[in-house]
Chains A and B, each alone.
Chain A
Amino acid sequence: MNITGLETLVFGVEDLAACRQYLLDYGLHAAADDPNRLLALDGSGVELYPADDASLPSAPNGCQLRLAVMGVADEATLQAIAEELGKDREVHRVDGRLQSVDDAGFAIAFQVSRRQPLPLIGEISNAPGSPIQRVPNQLGVVAGREAIQPRALSHLVYFVPDLAKAERFYVERLGFRVTDRFDGVGPFIQPAGSLEHHTHFLIGAPAFMHGVEHFTFHFGGPTEVIQNGSRFVKAGYQAFWGPGRHIFGSNWFWYFNSPFGCHVEMDADMDLHDNTWRPRLAPLGADASQAFLLRRRDNWMPGPGTPENGDYAN
């Protein structure tokens, strides 16, 4: 199945205005034709509806994510998915999307990819010896730069009550590959039409956790993640974990609490893997998840206003 990745996450939320402002402050922009469709630069994004909107598919356990829409390469892939899933479940077309449900009880849909190509380079570091450098006088960081916008929807992490069943569905029915795995927790999975380390991560969890752990968008590089995250914190949003860099996937991360009942991450620079990659297995733990973790410091040298006991006393 030539599935290319996630394209749209549809949420049914209790406080639509707060959720919308959260995503605008995160860096998404509203679609010209729908203020509640919030987009990254490539057109992937989030759709918001009131939680009681009867047109939304149901979700387990009060989960606010009501539908995960994936892109596919072409109409033939859409047909192939319709035939495969039609063997044992209802599949129907809604607004050009093929909609059904996965084996963990989450509504899923597929559409011929609507992502726009992004003719943008990523963050370039002036590493000595590297043939690729920033041109002279191009700055690596601009403190007062304009809004930092996420480039593309990255990945989604589900809590699933029956991990083996959920994994079989994505791998055997939809043709995802396992790229790495946390032992006893779950796999990072990649669809056949993407090289990204993961577009989904499945976590086996008790039934009362059934839902979403986080979703995230890719930014242009670590500087964008950290600069944008710092602005987010300054705007009053609450960081949960980060900024740091994961080991599996190598992506830079910064996780925030959110009004969506799950975490929302900012990420950048995820590894790409093809089908020659051999999955790794590691026990879950902070040491296995973070290569390093950074810490903010407001004051970094003594000077006027330094407390009697020094900055470390703050």
Chain B
Amino acid sequence: MPKSPTVPNCHAQPLCHLSELGEGSARGFLPDEDGQDRIFIVCHEGRLHAWRNACPHLAGAPMAWKRDAYLSPDGRQVMCHAHGARFEPDSGLCVHGPCLGQRLESVALHISTSGQVSLADPHLTCSV
């Protein structure tokens, strides 16, 4: 069944507060009806990087092995737990695995002066 173009969560609701994203951690957001996050955010060296939860090695492959488990065991890289691809957390570049040299698709964030993190383009939730 095709999805309606108007989705209730297409409003600029904050995803979380900056203080909830600890250095070296990852967290998924905007789960679909199957419980899979549409995007995830990595906090790396003091900066937030948001990526679509879709490994480029297979169209749309979900990457975590458990809720919010997007990082390699040493926490230094983003990892696809489908076929083991590893990515730089800040550039999204695949440095190991079946999509070597390809990149994760980035999602722009907006951080308010009060520290609320939301999507820069609130309508993006419709397509991610």
**A residues near B, CB below 8 A?**
14-15, 18, 22, 206, 208-209, 211, 213, 233-234, 236-240, 256-259, 261-263, 295-298, 307-310, 312-314
Contacts and interface: CB of A to CB of B under 8 A. Distances in A.
A309 B69 contact: no
Which residue, of B6, B8, B35, B97, has the highest number of chain A Cβ atoms within 10 A?
Answer: B35
15 contacts: A234-B35, A236-B67, A237-B66, A238-B64, A238-B69, A240-B82, A259-B69, A262-B83, A262-B84, A295-B34, A297-B33, A307-B8, A313-B7, A313-B8, A314-B7
A238 B36 contact: yes
Q: Per DSSP, are chain A's interface residues mostly helix, strand or loop, or mixed?
A: loop
A259 B7 contact: no
Contacts of B8: 307-309, 313-314
B61 A211 contact: no
A257 B33 contact: no
Contacts of B4: 309-310, 312-313
Interface residues of B, number: 28
Q: Per DSSP, are chain B's interface residues mostly helix, strand or loop, or mixed?
A: loop
A233 B31 CA distance: 12
Given A14-B73, A209-B83, A309-B6, A257 B98 contact: no
Contacts of A256: 65
A296 B32 CA distance: 11
Given A238-B62, A238-B67, A309-B4, A257 B35 contact: no
A238 B55 CA distance: 14
A239 B3 contact: no
B81 interface: yes
Contacts of B36: 238-239
Contacts of A309: 4, 6, 8
A237 B74 CA distance: 20
Interface of B: 1, 3-4, 6-8, 33-36, 61-67, 69, 73-74, 81-84, 96-98, 100
Contact of B34 (A259, A296, A312): A296
A259 B73 contact: yes
Contacts of A257: 62-65, 81-82
B35 A233 contact: yes
A237 B6 contact: no
Contacts of B81: 238, 257-259, 261
A237 B65 contact: yes
A297 B69 CA distance: 24
Contacts of B69: 238, 259
Contacts of B35: 233-234, 239
A262 B74 CA distance: 17
A15 B79 CA distance: 14
Contact of A296 (B33, B96, B100): B33
Nearest to A232: B66
B3 A312 contact: yes
A213 B6 CA distance: 38
B6 A261 contact: no
A262 B62 CA distance: 13
B65 A312 contact: no
Nearest to A236: B67
